[in-house]
Structure 1
């Protein structure tokens, strides 16, 4: 094997769980990681469905906090595995089995989301999380067993931190319902503190290109779920009411928003920016907003459809906001995390922030709000492409070939 070739990672029965190289070439997502991501679609769909029901019934005060809580659980479980596998992917038989156990935990969590939303019963969600977290702790203990010194201490800190946080989540089961928001806030902060504390002495060897690809693939999955949810809503409405004249603008606007979201996200090679934990923590944590808003767009399109056909008893303004608010939030958060690092000059820097404000303003456009927001998003992509063609896009590092601007 030449020096440039990636190390062999064919599956064996058992191999030492040693770190992979951060400079390793040809590092891409594995089939197991893709399968892991795919199974998260079930949980994302469940959270989105509950958000649709709450918004359509005019209960945003209940639906939005519940959605944010459930999506945090989904996103954090996904993120824990993704960063671990980027540093320690032995791909032996034991690693695969433990990862499949984590997937089982995801499915248990997804099954418990409706009960958590409707009755504040978090028992099934907590148990699914327990299954996932015990599997993750086992992986970290394997890493600690195979390492020494600072690397071993980092792995042990992760294992201890995850265990302590899982105990803390018991507050959702034993404390009164009114304490749930506070338990969530405290435990979410505690969870996000674990990696910061664990890697304070020594950073794990996550791979920048691999992590960027993993986040990109999950973005595609979330946007795909948004397309599926919107398509199902329009199809069922058209079959029952034959209201194509009012549904086509919503469908067209929603599709333009989703296409633009894809284009904007993948416009830059973000792995060039991820040089150390200093950049990676902010970028990785900030994706909670990116993923959450991307999934919420699909829920919003469903609500807008239901409002048009009379199934959602809310105002046109409220129904429009369920689409425009997450779309604007997605656009702005992608600029904040991704794109601003690749812009040169005020025209490039202001394109996405201006677009997010314009999309939000479309909320006041009445029944044409979704279509108008989609047109604004499409125009944003076009403006970005024109500016890129004029050579006004740049970074301290040259963007990789084949990227697009927005």
Structure 2
């Protein structure tokens, strides 16, 4: 199959796309609230299922806005429709596994069908229309699973929805292949630089929403010295997580995409990495809430798992991307994840405030190392150009 002659226009991220992202990052607070109130393995599984649903919608619509050009009126109306449905769907997250399953499932199903069918009919090239017919084929098993899950009782609902979420996430990760019919990334004209900037801004918004969630926890806690120190410590951790990527890491992504002949593949990997990245931020937010609420209390496995497991997911996702794309800048991240794991185990015996300070120490060391690593990697890469 030859590369399509049509070329995707290169453009900046549109204000509508940022507006769209805000609707879906709103889900971070909702997911954190659900996990905080259902602090169990089942609650974690329910949170993960809804997180996959939210991010699958974001990923599919974001690719559509790029492939179909969000400046086209038809695409703009599509994005606005998904925003409205997504806002209602995300608002139901705390109630989806109790008394409002249909209020969550129906907007989700409508979004999946609307996005897939619209793209399959209106994509600008035959290759792209064929790709979106494959995407629609993947929705065929996913949609009934979401609907059946909404119809059954709370207990079995998790099984049905977990199966649906697995289908949706696998489709995004593998680019919706069918037997003897897989996507060749080089066959699709794609504004990769646009999606790189989109991912960059989406991560910033995710971090910002996490700040708001943690700020709410600080507001609800007593104004005592230990609470203030715990809140500041969690803020330092978030700043470090931000710096671990935005202190040169985003430039490595941009330059790699600009230099590679297959521009879509690394972008697909970066989008796939948003699942564990968001899961890590949700876990950290809940762990921070627990630490801020009782900074001098007894340590626990739950606090250790959330407070250190969240950064593990966030950082190891970065390590995976750098390893699979550039083959560099991943070793320090893996060592940091090992340190997080050890610290998470010892958190069982430490007051939550001490655990927060240990988390800060590991993250500050990681940021200091990554600053030098990113500089070295960037010095060896060609400068990114944008015609």
Q: Where on the TM-score scale, by shorter chain, does this alignment land: which range?
A: 0.7 to 0.9
Q: Alpha carbon RMSD of aligned pairs, Å? A: 2.9
Q: Is the 8 A contact 1:107 1:128 kept in 2?
A: no
Number of the residue aligned with 2:54: 74
1:64 CA displacement: 0.7
Q: Is the 8 A contact 1:297 1:322 kept in 2?
A: yes
Number of the residue aligned with 2:18: 34
Number of the residue aligned with 1:200: 182
1:136 CA displacement: 0.8
Equivalenced residues, count: 363
The reply to whether residue 321 of structure 1 matches residue 305 of structure 2 is yes
Higher mean alpha-carbon deviation, 176-185 vs 105-114, is at: 176-185
CA gap of 1:353–1:340, structure 2 versus 1, over 3 A, is farther
CA gap of 1:257–1:108, structure 2 versus 1, over 3 A, is same
Q: Is the 8 A contact 1:20 1:88 kept in 2?
A: no
1:130 and 1:196 map into 2 onto residues whose CA distance is 17
Number of the residue aligned with 2:115: 136
2:232 and 2:238 map into 1 onto residues whose CA distance is 10
CA gap of 1:205–1:171, structure 2 versus 1, over 3 A, is farther
Gaps of 5+ in 2: none
Kindly provide the CA deviation profile for residues 96-154 of structure 1, in whole angstroms up to 9, marking residues without a partner as x: 2221111111111122212124x27421111121332243134214425x544x34322
Number of the residue aligned with 2:139: 162
TM-score relative to the length of structure 1: 0.79
Number of the residue aligned with 2:333: 352
1:71 CA displacement: 0.6
Gaps of 5+ in 1: 1-17, 402-406
Number of the residue aligned with 1:123: 102
Q: How does 1:3-402 map to 2 (within 5 A)?
A: 21-22=7-8, 24-25=9-10, 27-55=11-39, 60-117=40-97, 119=98, 121-144=100-123, 147-148=125-126, 150-191=127-168, 192-193=170-171, 195-197=175-177, 200=182, 203=185, 204-237=188-221, 241-243=222-224, 245-266=225-246, 267-268=248-249, 269-274=252-257, 275-308=262-295, 315-338=299-322, 341-342=325-326, 344=328, 349-363=330-344, 364-365=346-347, 366-367=350-351, 368-387=354-373, 391=376, 393=377, 397-398=381-382, 400=384
CA gap of 1:147–1:343, structure 2 versus 1, over 3 A, is closer
CA gap of 1:140–1:197, structure 2 versus 1, over 3 A, is same
Q: Is the 8 A contact 2:255 2:381 kept in 1?
A: yes
CA gap of 1:276–1:209, structure 2 versus 1, over 3 A, is closer
